[in-house]
Amino acid sequence: MHENYDEALLLELVKNKQFRALRAHLDEMNEVDIAEFLDELEPDQQVVVFRLLPKDVAADVFTYLEDSEDQEKIINALSDKELREVLDELYLDDTVDIIEDMPANMVSRILRNTDASTRSQINQLLKYPEDSAGSIMTTEFIYLHPNATVEESFARIRKVGLDKETVYTCYVTQNRVLLGVVTVKTLLLSPYETKIKDIMETKVISVTTHEDKEDVAQMFSKYDLSALPVVDGENRLVGIITFDDAMDVMEEEATEDFEKMAAILPGDKPYLKTSVFETWRSRIPWLLMLMLSATFSGMIITHFEGALAACVVLTSFITMLSGTGGNSGSQSSVAVIRALSLGEVEFSDMLAVVWKELRVALLCGVCLAAANFVKMMLVDRMLMHNPQVTVPVALVVCLTLMCTVVCAKIVGCTLPMAAEKIGIDPAVMAAPFITTVVDALSLLIYFGIATEILGI
């Protein structure tokens, strides 16, 4: 919770139905904080407090509510007139975002309470694929004519700017074709009689409606943009994507990647709002798959049961080897997945990535093997007086450690790149999956080296 408002005081005012005092406090609060406060209330209390808000504030608060179920409950409680007032204050892309998470009957009610023009634009935006630029754009932008003067353009901005998502960046079009872009700063610093075509920037960075929204979000960071125009196949301006929409995409994609890397099916609800059953359902498929795949490690150990019986001390180092291998693979996979998501590497860079990770693995492997050899001789043999820890045994463990680190890092960097090449999210090839693969490899290497050196 933020410390710029007293949650306990507000809850007390709601409980005692002191709505006049509550409204005074709400008037001083930011819309984001009001939305967080509403999340703490019971459904019937949420509706009561929501009705206290001015309609323009209520619309902003509505978009900041984290849980679509809270939005749905509020919509159910509002009359058609109240709902229409809230929808009139919402930007078009926010309305579309809300509709996408609503059941069919709720969508019908929302569309019934919008005018024909807005309804047509909403339906158009809903037709775009979920992961496309078109699905996150808004059609509420300011466009100027190239032959208009600065004075005429200011008059237009004042006339139509109130309902637009941004007024700082204006787009220059003729017959809807995107010609250039001009900022309000440029307009303010130019003489009134100047033509827009003489001051507009013609090198405009734009995207098409079907471009992947994650790639679009990365462009905001790459080019330091506040807004990005979206065009169709004939370079006609159909919408813009603003920085806040790009940030939402980045947060959504980062959360999804974290969940996949932790072997959890992605969800769209806040943690505390997700039921125990839903949480179980998102985790159990991966756990089942990883559990079954881990049986390969058990089969390998069973196969070499005789070798373990001949040299029991080898058993005590299996966990360390598997753990180090898994950690090494995870380091490489996380680094490569991040590089892939930022566009720093692609599949064609596979050899360069493998060559780099191979050198890193050799350095890491040598350091770990040397440290482990010293530890086994000093701690295991001398301090703990374990006569089974001989130099040949230590050599087996250290050679295995070095080979395992090399294999783990190669697997960790190649699997995510291969996954992206065949159209699978690279985040899937993260810690749990790679650890399972490396566990099996480390055991095969371990017993192979032990057989050769110890003759078991």
Is 134 a member of any domain? no
When pLDDT is cut at 50, 70 and 90, the band that residue 426 belongs to is confident
Per-residue pLDDT tens digits for 205-235: 999 999 999 889 889 988 888 999 999 988 9
Q: What is the pLDDT of residue 146?
A: 95
Is 138 a member of any domain? no
Which range among 99-103, 307-311, 348-352 shows the weakest confidence by mean pLDDT? 307-311
CB 198 within 8 Å of CB 147: no
Q: What single letter denotes the amino acid at residue 283?
A: R
The strand pair at 143-144 and 169-174 is best described as parallel
Q: What percent of the chain has pLDDT over 90?
A: 31
Q: What is the pLDDT of residue 445?
A: 92
Q: How many angstroms separate the CA atoms of 279 and 371, rounded?
A: 42
In terms of Cβ atoms closer than 10 Å to its own Cβ (0-12, 13-18, 19+), residue 428 is middle
What are the percentages of helix, strand and coil residues in the chain, rounded to 5?
A: 70, 10, 25
Q: How many angstroms separate the CA atoms of 321 and 8, rounded?
A: 52
Note whether 73 and 33 are same-domain residues.
Answer: yes
Note whether 239 and 294 are same-domain residues.
Answer: no
If you average pLDDT over residues 307-335, what whole number do you get?
85
CB 168 within 8 Å of CB 183: yes
Q: Please name every residue paired with 143 in a beta bridge, in sequence order, or none if there are none.
A: 171
If you average pLDDT over residues 404-419, what whole number do you get?
91
If you average pLDDT over residues 365-372, what whole number do you get?
95
Is 137 a member of any domain? no
Task: Considering only residues 373 and 295, tell me which one the structure prediction assigns the higher pLDDT.
Answer: 373
Per-residue pLDDT tens digits for 295-305: 777 787 787 77
* Closest among 367, 376, 451 to 406, alpha carbons compared: 367
Is 420 a member of any domain? yes
Q: Please name every residue paired with 230 in a beta bridge, in sequence order, or none if there are none.
A: 207, 239
Which range among 112-126, 296-310, 432-446 shows the weakest confidence by mean pLDDT? 296-310
Tokens of 109: 């009610």
Tokens of 160: 């139509």
CB 434 within 8 Å of CB 408: yes
pLDDT > 60? residue 3? no
Which range among 162-171, 186-195, 270-279, 367-376 shows the weakest confidence by mean pLDDT? 270-279
**Residue 58: other Cβ atoms inside 10 A:** 21
CA triplet 176, 177, 178: central angle to 5 degrees? 110
Q: What single letter denotes the amino acid at residue 347?
A: F
Q: Where a domain ends, among 127, 155, 177?
A: 127
**How many DSSP H helices and E strands does the chain contain?**
21, 6
* Closest among 58, 63, 57 to 244, alpha carbons compared: 63
Q: What is the pLDDT of residue 1?
A: 40
Task: Considering only residues 103 and 430, tell me which one the structure prediction assigns the higher pLDDT.
Answer: 103
**Residue 110: other Cβ atoms inside 10 A:** 20
**Range with top average pLDDT, 146-150, 223-227, 272-276, 343-347:** 146-150
CB 186 within 8 Å of CB 169: no
CB 171 within 8 Å of CB 142: yes
Total-model pTM: 0.59
- Write the CB contacts of 363 (distance below 8 Å, at least 6 apart in sequence): none
- Write the CB contacts of 323 (distance below 8 Å, at least 6 apart in sequence): none
Note whether 278 and 412 are same-domain residues.
Answer: yes
Q: What is the pLDDT of residue 190?
A: 95
CB 261 within 8 Å of CB 431: yes
Note whether 355 and 410 are same-domain residues.
Answer: yes
If you average pLDDT over residues 254-263, what whole number do you get?
60
When pLDDT is cut at 50, 70 and 90, the band that residue 400 belongs to is very high
CB 273 within 8 Å of CB 67: yes
If you average pLDDT over residues 142-151, what whole number do you get?
95
The strand pair at 169-174 and 177-183 is best described as antiparallel
Q: Where a domain ends, among 127, 154, 181?
A: 127
Is 261 a member of any domain? no
- Domain range spanning residue 196? 143-250
Note whether 307 and 349 are same-domain residues.
Answer: yes
Q: How many angstroms separate the CA atoms of 348 and 180, rounded?
A: 35
Note whether 294 and 226 are same-domain residues.
Answer: no
Residue 387: φ, ψ to 5°: -65, -20
Note whether 296 and 385 are same-domain residues.
Answer: yes
Is 21 a member of any domain? yes
Q: Please give the sequence-ordered ranges of beta strands (E in DSSP) within 103-168, or none if there are none.
A: 143-144
Is 432 a member of any domain? yes
If you average pLDDT over residues 261-289, what whole number do you get?
68
Q: What single letter denotes the amino acid at residue 156?
A: R
Q: Where a domain ends, among 216, 250, 284?
A: 250
Note whether 90 and 123 are same-domain residues.
Answer: yes
pLDDT > 80? residue 53? yes
- The CATH number of whichever domain residue 37 belongs to comes to 1.25.60.10
Q: Please name every residue paired with 172 in a beta bridge, in sequence order, or none if there are none.
A: 144, 180
| Mean pLDDT over the full length of the chain | 86
Note whether 371 and 409 are same-domain residues.
Answer: yes
Per-residue pLDDT tens digits for 36-52: 888 888 888 888 899 89
- The CATH number of whichever domain residue 350 belongs to comes to 1.10.357.20
DSSP state of 149: B
Q: What is the pLDDT of residue 265?
A: 54
Please state the domain count of the chain: 3
pLDDT > 80? residue 118? yes
Is 259 a member of any domain? no
CA triplet 367, 370, 373: central angle to 5 degrees? 145
Distance between first and last Cα of the chain = 62
Note whether 58 and 147 are same-domain residues.
Answer: no
Which range among 60-74, 186-200, 203-217, 426-440 shows the weakest confidence by mean pLDDT? 426-440
pLDDT > 90? residue 422? no
If you average pLDDT over residues 342-359, what whole number do you get?
91
pLDDT > 90? residue 436? no
